Structure 1
């Protein structure tokens, strides 16, 4: 990996040149893959990502951090889950979905996918019919 933090795929070299993938691309792929898992209410990003989203910019990499080092690639995902789901099962599905998406789209093998559950979202739109109870 070079100093620009661009991942160069060694096995993708050909007579035409090399293929390089930016960590931001990995973040977007991982963010979409995580948000597709049933039980994930939202992705949790930083303050700047929240402001950008309120201004109309969709940030698919929100809540995802990619680290490139000598040992490999580590993806950290911060999610808010829906109330009532089994947290370990949802976390395993997130890990599997991210790993599969990155392997399929980029041929990248990950060292680790760390899932950080940072909140629980309760359904606030549920309406209780009080007349039916009486």
Structure 2
């Protein structure tokens, strides 16, 4: 089995007038924002309080038009971790496919903590 390689960007379309490329950083931001839209997700692990572009909690592997996402989230206390994780996987996959046209091969969610603040 071929080893997946992390690339900086992926060519989406090549036409007579040029090509369209999507940077892996763009996909990381889409994934992070989609995850934080799920009720029960407090934040991404490694993201500061002000939501400044910091995708330390997201790793994106792009290979031959397919995307694989590994992410770490902080869950709010009192929410079901399995339920939240499944919702994050679905939301992230849907948003990446809708916004970029790339196919998502997988979204791995790691719960890095629980926020106890009310």
Normalised-by-shorter TM-score class: 0.7 to 0.9
- Which protein is richer in helix relative to its size? 1
Higher Rg:
1
Runs of 4+ in structure 1 displaced over 3 angstroms?
69-72
Paired residues in the alignment total: 113
TM-score, length basis structure 1 = 0.74
**1:123 aligned onto 2:117:** yes
Q: Verify the 8 A CA contact 1:31 1:62 in the aligned structure 2.
A: no
The offset of 1:62, in angstroms, is: 4.0
Q: Which stretch shifts more, 25-34 or 63-72?
A: 63-72
Q: Verify the 8 A CA contact 1:40 1:82 in the aligned structure 2.
A: yes
Change in Cα spacing, 1:121 to 1:4, as seen in structure 2 (3 Å) is closer
Give unmatched runs, 5+ long, in structure 1.
Answer: 125-134
Supply the RMSD in Å over aligned alpha carbons. 2.4
1:1-134 alignment runs, 5 A limit: 5-9=8-12, 12-45=13-46, 53=48, 58-69=52-63, 72-124=66-118
TM-score, length basis structure 2 = 0.83
